[in-house]
Amino acid sequence: MRYEILGPLRFTGESGPSYIGARKVETLLAALLIRSGQVVASGRIKEEIWGGSPPRRASAAVHVYVSQLRKILAAAAPVPVGPIVTRPPGYLLQLDEDDELDVRTFEERVALGRVLVHEGRHDEACVVLKSALSLWRGPVLVGVSGGPLIGAFVGAVEDARVECLELLMDAQLTVGRHREVVGQLQTLSGEHPLSEVFYRQLMLALYRSERQAEALRVYDTARGVLHGEFGLEPGQPLRDLQRAILLGDPRLEHPSASTSPFGRISMMASARISPVRT
């Protein structure tokens, strides 16, 4: 079985992709997938479904929803055994080695991409990181209502996607694809107006595309946003890049991460990507 949560929640068995129409059952499956391999307490399930005001017979309702979900998944599975196990104080969704969960695949590909970047294998990193992003079909668990567990998970995975994009843009700049990434970086800096990383990457891409004035305007935009939101000046890396552009620093022309302090502008950490479990 393949489970997908990087977009609308769906699962794919022998009969093809399937969606769950019942909202509360959908929330139940989302919570179990987020904690796959771990017991999700009945109290936590109630909180995800009803928030802080569960109905009087919430425990019985959860039991009914679990029964419904078991039937739905068993009907789609290649074998009649369902993956949901009752285990005090709640329920556990057990993924077999043949089962797939798209967010796990995403994590693995980003981790590999990170390693490739730090090994200087930027062309390979671009391929792997693009394949990680290709798993996304829309916002995480779009349309699924939930409580703190689902909310925290969605935030963590969205952050991981931003980090993946930073790595990808960084790798593409390093191999000299500055003209190719200008448009995407303009979009990303608009979608994430508080991200100094995307501003820095866009400035460098524009400068290397012989668009120095536009690169400096990006700095002015970033400064205006940061000052307007928080009363802060841009960070040192962004200020250093602006100064280098004004001076025409020749190091900006060379994307080599080993020779230029501006080649690796994303300042990515050397650790593997953190799991998005909550």
pLDDT of 102-143, one tens digit each?
999 999 999 999 999 999 999 999 999 999 999 999 999 999
Select, from the ranges 80-84, 234-238, 268-272, the one with the highest average predicted confidence (pLDDT): 234-238
Please give the CATH architecture assigned to the domain spanning 177-254: Alpha Horseshoe (1.25)
* Host H or E run for residue 189: helix 178-191
Domain positions in the chain = 2-101, 177-254
Distance of alpha carbon 56 from alpha carbon 93, whole angstroms:
26
Q: Is pTM beyond 0.85 here?
A: yes
pLDDT tens-digit map of 226-248: 999 999 999 999 999 999 999 99
Omega of the bond leading into 89 within 30 degrees of 0 (cis) = yes
User: What is residue 252's predicted lDDT score, i.e. its pLDDT?
Assistant: 93
Please give the CATH architecture assigned to the domain spanning 2-101: Orthogonal Bundle (1.10)
Same fold: 2-101 with 177-254: no
Distance of alpha carbon 5 from alpha carbon 139, whole angstroms:
9
